[in-house]
Structure 1
Amino acid sequence: MTARVLIVDDHATMRMGFRTILEASGLTVVGEAATGAEAVDAAASLRPDVICMDVQMPDLDGIEATRRILAAAGDHPPRVVIVTTFDRDDYLFEALDAGASGFLLKNAGPEELVSAVRVVAAGDALLAPEVTRRVIERFARPTGPDVDPGLTEREREVLRLLAQALSNSEIATRLFIGEATVKTHVSNVLAKLGARDRVAAVVYAHRHGLA
């Protein structure tokens, strides 16, 4: 699928590298920004589908920029993929709380960057495998049961598998059902939990003992 991408990084060479990789894969780079403040302005004027967002930048960091962009975006917010050098759980979880839909370390391969952009552009969410378990285990501590969200038993099964970072096709294989059926269950789970995406659903599952 095609997607309109905004690249945010304070290093020009990194922005150039990202642009080359994404455009070679058929994605459209609509703009670049070197600071968080520039990113906020560019997101408002360019209305990208996906933003590849660095964390540590002058003027305004990527986490706060993400929070401001999504707060101002209205009904059609962009999807934000945090792409960072810093393998720090606090950065990653704060970005999750700010509304980011993807997390990737800069040592990821070009194909992983392209995949991350396509995944979040399609309305899904992505966590780099090397950070998923640490982030969830450290920050998504169980808080006990919440108000029953009304999940069916099958939806609870799907949520438990989501919490294991399984894809829709892997869930379909595990449950012996079609992938289209899995997509329907995932949509129902997100709606009942009031979760914006799979990442939020995974955190909910761990916090409330459903994982």
Structure 2
Amino acid sequence: MQEKPQRKPTQQRSRERLERILDVAEGLIEEKGSEHVKMSEIADLAEISIGSLYQYFPDKRAIIRSLAEAYATESRECVRLALEAVRNQKELVAAFSELVDLYYRIVLEKPVMRDISSALRADKELMSIELSESRACGAMLAAAIMRVRPRADAKRIGALAFLIWQLGEETMRLAIAHKRSEGALLVDVYKRMSLRAIEEG
């Protein structure tokens, strides 16, 4: 069943209310996990009526989708900026390594991303957001690899880059579920493994 489109705010006050709703929802998800958050709690903390909340978001899934898409937009722009200037192997290695390290730091600093990711994976419809993001970022990685190695098999590189990106998501989930030292080791192993795969094509 297709979700009802969320109401698009057109006035400053309405946009501020939308931001407040998302800020409150994000805080509650970080504190309790998405499965334990109720729409009524969000409305109360955002200081709006439950009816007003439903005007913006028909259900909790729509809120999670909005938060996930906001993170995805930020992530995609970061990846674009890091990879679009890559022209040789040294730059590719540096850019990919820095992106992995940056993403790990962000996930550690914003544990709510883990909870949103878990919520996406628990819902088949929402899981498409993560897969779409892996495809988009993987395509940017593939384009960077092809600039460095223009004679490589583009189809194979595309599949490799998508797989590397999706494995990165899994690695981050594993890393933050373990002690900091073990998590850092997992991320480092993933990074080295991915760079070796990129070099071998």
TM-score, normalised to structure 2's length? 0.30
Higher helix share: 2
Higher strand share: 1
TM-score, normalised to structure 1's length? 0.28
Rg comparison, structure with higher value:
2
